Amino acid sequence: MTEVAATTLWARAFVDELARCGVQDVVVAPGSRSTPLVMAFSRDGRFRMRVHLDERSGAFFALGTAKASGSPAVIVTTSGTATANVFPAVIEASLSEAPLLVLTADRPHRLRGADANQTIDQVGLYGAYVRDFIDVAPPVADGPALQHLRTVAVRSVATSLTAPLGPVHVNFPFDKPLEPMDPDPDFVAAHPLAADGRSDGSPFVKISSGRIELPEHELDRLATTLAAARGVIVAGPVPEPNKVGVAALSLSAATGYPILADPLSGARFGPSGDADVIAAYDLFLRDETICGVLKPDLVVRVGATPTSTALQGWLQRHNGVRHIVLDAGGRWKDYGATATDYVRADPEITLSALAERADKTVDQSWTSLWRAAVKAARQVIDVDEGELHEGVVLATVAKALPEGASLFVSSSMPVRDLDAFGLPREERIMVFGNRGASGIDGIVSSAFGVAAARRAPTVCVLGDIALFHDQNGLLWSREPDCPVVFVLIDNDGGGIFHMLPIANHEPAFSKFFATPHGLDFQHTAEMHNLGWSELEIGALGSELNAALESGRTSILRVTSDREINKRRHEEVADAVAQNVLDTLR
């Protein structure tokens, strides 16, 4: 068999195994060296294939798809700096625990370290941010080698889906010629298992990787801690919000403990049952006196670090209180060193098992305190007649989205405002964000990926700097099956920095932090043939519904003044804290 035919068979065998393992979504960034992989995917017919000109945007789209589907998505790149452009998405996938398969083409071994064009050192390129790295052997027409390659494909999928979920990097050295050639039929006939895989269509090797479950006696021991009278559940961002969020709500209902649910926890927006979902905690937990009144004797925490700095501060203030962290393992999730018990077990299974064992021994005066605080906070928020601010944008979107819709919320201020002002609701919406590394460099593309995976109405709220960072991502609007309505909060620069003490240091602040740019994003919308509307914050609800009904990608631009926004945030937070304080005294 010729070398080119062996390369073709090599790529087809690997791709075949990915399909057998359930992989469906593949994003390709054009390039020459990756030709064998691209042609193998294209020929197979079992994949949803998409193409993007920018590797970074392609990788973040695949990331969004993986987050929304829970299944590994593939990004394919050529060699050289194309592989480095994928790195930001790899980091986010690692830290937010999303399954991602990064398939990079490379030069053959003889050209490495030899000054060959478009060649960089791709071995271990992503370091500790991948769950595994495999530098595949050069293609050969050999039965045992092909069988081994098939196991590499299966292992890659299994590793990406094993807690902690995350990215896997597979590097393929390909030599020219790269174009496909049908394999030698005599070789295929002589090695049917290697060439064609298992005849029943199953993966070459079945990998069983169960979730960690605690033994009964350990669950019983943990259940005894739930007799605490002043317990609270803290649910942070989780990689499986539709599972873990529901389980956290069930424990809240079973114990009577209030639940402080991050927007990315899966427990904020959806049927709560009898759970006590606390609203606006980010606003009133900023006050030291209120934090002292709301002192727990037990904290049960699941997920990553909460978005709310006020909630983080509340946990720090009560360091020393019994604090149980439930985590599947692999990544330490207690940067504040407040945990007293760290339970390495599947959080969904553990929360559900504890809910079955729980007796509602909560002190009713404890729950009354939290409910009174929420009521007092809502009294201020609901009747606020001051100038509208960016928090109102997130509150409006969270309330207006139809049941089952997707909301992708940008890092920086939008996710914080959703946390502070997005009130719990019984109709489920799924909220996504890139809070692993909290970057803003792939927000647009990730939102399109979520829309493609869920096939539900999708809204993305982001700032002008985030849109600027990922303008290339708007090229995804050409895909007919994943429209996104972007709510653009345009405050002409980095509005979040106005919330920091550095804002008092002019003129350096404006030049190096706020960075006003004066860009008109309407031109960006026109270039991509997108819908465009400029509106006041108060008109957002009706405009949002109309944009969703149109079924096309559009941008709704809401302008905001950074100074006014900062002042209004402070006024609302102060008023909420004062009203809650007066109520609890």
Q: Give me the mean pLDDT over the 557-583 stretch.
A: 94
Three-class secondary structure of residue 408 per DSSP: strand
Q: CA 227, CA 361: separation in Å to the nearest integer? A: 6
What confidence score (pLDDT) does residue 562 get? 86
Cis peptide before 180 (omega within 30 of 0): no
Q: CA 38, CA 174: separation in Å to the nearest integer? A: 13
Tokens linked to 172: 């393929």
Q: Give me the mean pLDDT over the 179-188 stretch.
A: 92
Structural contact between residues 26 and 50, judged by C-beta atoms closer than 8 angstroms: yes
If you ran DSSP here, which 8-state letter would residue 117 be given? T
What confidence score (pLDDT) does residue 515 get? 73
Q: Give me the mean pLDDT over the 499-522 stretch.
A: 73
Question: What is the torsional sign of CA 331, 333, 337, 342?
Answer: negative
Q: How many CB atoms lie within 10 A of CB 357?
A: 14
Percent of the chain with pLDDT over 70: 97
Superfamily of domain 390-559: Thiamin diphosphate (ThDP)-binding fold, Pyr/PP domains (3.40.50.970)
Correct CATH for 3-196 of 3.40.50.970, 3.40.50.300, 3.30.70.250, 3.40.50.2000? 3.40.50.970
Q: CA 460, CA 414: separation in Å to the nearest integer? A: 10
Cis peptide before 501 (omega within 30 of 0): no
Q: Give me the mean pLDDT over the 98-126 stretch.
A: 93
Three-class secondary structure of residue 301 per DSSP: strand
| In the predicted structure, residue 511 carries a pLDDT above the cut 70 | no
What confidence score (pLDDT) does residue 87 get? 98
Residue 333 has, within 13 A of its CA and on its CB side, a CA count of 29
Q: CA 238, CA 115: separation in Å to the nearest integer? A: 44
What confidence score (pLDDT) does residue 502 get? 65
| In the predicted structure, residue 365 carries a pLDDT above the cut 80 | yes
Q: Give me the mean pLDDT over the 388-406 stretch.
A: 96
Where in the chain are the domains? 3-196, 217-381, 390-559
Q: CA 494, CA 517: separation in Å to the nearest integer? A: 10
Q: CA 310, CA 576: separation in Å to the nearest integer? A: 13
Q: Give me the mean pLDDT over the 370-384 stretch.
A: 94
Percent of the chain with pLDDT over 90: 87
What confidence score (pLDDT) does residue 498 get? 55
Instruction: State CA 116 to chain mean position distance.
Output: 37
| In the predicted structure, residue 524 carries a pLDDT above the cut 70 | yes
384 confidence band (pLDDT: 50, 70, 90): confident
Neighbour-count burial for 391-406, b at 16+ CB within 10 Å, e otherwise: bbbbbbbbebbeeebb
What confidence score (pLDDT) does residue 47 get? 98
How would CATH label the architecture of 217-381? Answer: 3-Layer(aba) Sandwich (3.40)
Instruction: State CA 444 to chain mean position distance.
Output: 13
Phi and psi (nearest 5°) for 119? -125, 125
Phi and psi (nearest 5°) for 428? -75, 135
DSSP H or E run through 146:
helix 143-160
Identical topology for domains 3-196 and 217-381: yes
Q: How many CB atoms lie within 10 A of CB 320?
A: 8
Q: CA 520, CA 524: separation in Å to the nearest integer? A: 8
Q: CA 202, CA 21: separation in Å to the nearest integer? A: 8
Q: Give me the mean pLDDT over the 104-119 stretch.
A: 90
Per residue in 252-275, pLDDT (tens digit) is 999 999 999 999 999 999 999 999
**This prediction's pTM:** 0.95
What confidence score (pLDDT) does residue 104 get? 98
Q: CA 375, CA 371: separation in Å to the nearest integer? A: 6
What confidence score (pLDDT) does residue 101 get? 98
- Which stretches of 114-245 are assigned E, i.e. beta strand? 132-135, 167-173, 231-235
Mean pLDDT of the chain: 94
Per residue in 321-356, pLDDT (tens digit) is 999 999 998 889 999 999 999 999 999 999 999 999
| Cα-based distances in Å from 175 to 4, 5, 153, 374 | 8, 12, 20, 64
Q: Give me the mean pLDDT over the 432-455 stretch.
A: 96
What confidence score (pLDDT) does residue 555 get? 98
537 confidence band (pLDDT: 50, 70, 90): confident
428 confidence band (pLDDT: 50, 70, 90): very high
DSSP H or E run through 431:
strand 430-432
What confidence score (pLDDT) does residue 497 get? 62
Q: Which amino acid is at 58?
A: G
What confidence score (pLDDT) does residue 286 get? 95
Per residue in 8-42, pLDDT (tens digit) is 999 999 999 999 999 999 999 999 999 999 999 99
If you ran DSSP here, which 8-state letter would residue 511 be given? I
